[in-house]
A and B are shown apart, each in its own frame.
Chain A
Amino acid sequence: MNALPLILTVFVACVVEAIEALTIVLAAGLTREWRSTFQGMAAALVVLAVVTAAVGPALTFLPLSALRLVVGALLAIFGLQWLRKAVLRATGYKALHDEASAYLREVAAAEAAPVQAKRGVNDWYSFTLAFKGVLLEGLEVVFIVITFGDNQRNLPAAVIGAAAAIVVVTLTGIAVKAPLAKVPENWMKFAVGVMLTSFGTFWGGEGAGVRWPGGDAALLVLVPVVALVSAACVLWLRGRSAAAAAPAKQSEVVGS
């Protein structure tokens, strides 16, 4: 299979996670202290690099069918989670993830916390805030990089996609010096959810012993079908929300 879909999927997924990490890092750095924030960020990146370097190559020793069965199941579950949230947010059943609001909450907490030097770090709060933010968001990136890279037997391509996303988001963050609130995050999550679910279904099926019609070309059908079914879910829920809103409006008129 061409490496381009792999790189693009990993890139978009990593952009979403990197934006969320950037919000936390900016809140810590701009309101507290940049040095401790960078130390926390660097420590988290080292942990993530070690995890990727240890787990990534180790998984390639597994038989391909077993790897695809396990990884396919995990990716499908992971992708369905993303899709579920994106559909609920697109139809208004769940509040949109808002970087500006998240940034304000982090800033308020950072301003209230006391400054405390610890273990060679000037500001322990900034360090831990940046460390936890980058580590938690980064773990999802590592999961996607390892599963996609190992399944395609092309870990370097997945790493390139992730690294490009981190560089793009970091440079944009440095230029803007504010959370990237205007990025259509929910759309990107929807797209990534479609890709993760499609690849997970494809690899999971292969791991379970299925021979897809057309081989790898089946993905070219599976991805649009998953997208269409998800879009149909959005339309279905919008119809349901309109139906739920109609009796409420009627009762308001009667009540007034």
Chain B
Amino acid sequence: MNLIKAFGAFWYDFVIGDDWQVAAFVVAGLALTASCAHAAGVNAWWLLPLFVFAALAWSLHRATKSSRPLSRTVPAFPPTPSSPPTGPAPHRPSPAPGNPPAPAQPAQETPRRARSSPHPPLPAAPTQTRRKKTRPLGRIFFRLIPSDRNV
């Protein structure tokens, strides 16, 4: 019985993932699109993309509405005994209502990876702040937008 449960949990995690509402949005979008096409005879090609975008926005909103971003830190590699953590301790976001609480350590891995690991979790490696290498997507896009200084 445990084996069947574990098998089911693995496939649920593999297909559905962290947020089941994303899957619900996609299935609802497909059902509505099929209804329009077959029952009403309407070629609603625009409907499914709308549901997909709504699923992404809604899922991101739920994941971030009551949390703050983490500190940008990366682990020291290779580790040195005399290199204590120099960066600020990463802030752990408080769980959004309806979401399960976060694990004790900052999540470097997805829940699927953490569950599939063959050994118990170990303390995180020492970290150091690295600002120059961090190039978030937003910064790239902001570069494309001319600022007052550039114009």
Contacts and interface: CB of A to CB of B under 8 A. Distances in A.
A197 interface: yes
A88 B64 CA distance: 8
Contacts of B116: 132, 136
Interface residues of B, number: 59
Interface in A216-250: 218, 222, 225-226, 229-231, 233-238, 240-241, 244-245, 248
Contacts of A237: 60, 64
Contact of B52 (A76, A102, A187, A190): A76
B89 to A, nearest CB: 12
Nearest to B45: A210
Given A87-B60, A229-B53, A209 B37 contact: yes
A85 to B, nearest CB: 7
Given A73-B30, A77-B16, A234-B141, A212 B125 contact: no
B64 A104 contact: no
B88 to A, nearest CB: 12
Interface in A74-101: 74, 76-78, 80-81, 83-85, 87-88, 90-98, 100-101
Given A77-B22, A108-B122, A208-B48, A84 B60 contact: yes
A211 B43 CA distance: 7
Interface string B90-122: 100100000000000011111011001011011
Given A87-B60, A101-B108, A212-B45, A95 B75 contact: no
Given A80-B22, A93-B70, A210-B44, A100 B52 contact: no
Contact of A80 (B14, B55, B125): B55
Nearest to A104: B125
Contact of B63 (A93, A204, A235): A93
Contacts of B109: 97, 102
B26 A84 contact: no
Contacts of A81: 17-19, 22
Interface of B: 14-19, 22-23, 26-27, 30, 33-34, 37-38, 43-45, 48-49, 52-53, 55-57, 59-60, 63-64, 67-72, 74-75, 77, 79, 90, 93, 106-110, 112-113, 116, 118-119, 121-122, 124-125, 136-138, 141
5 contacts: A84-B18, A90-B137, A208-B30, A212-B45, A222-B49
Interface of A: 69, 72-74, 76-78, 80-81, 83-85, 87-88, 90-98, 100-105, 108-109, 113, 125, 128-129, 132, 136, 139-140, 143, 181, 187, 190, 197, 200-201, 204-205, 207-213, 218, 222, 225-226, 229-231, 233-238, 240-241, 244-245, 248
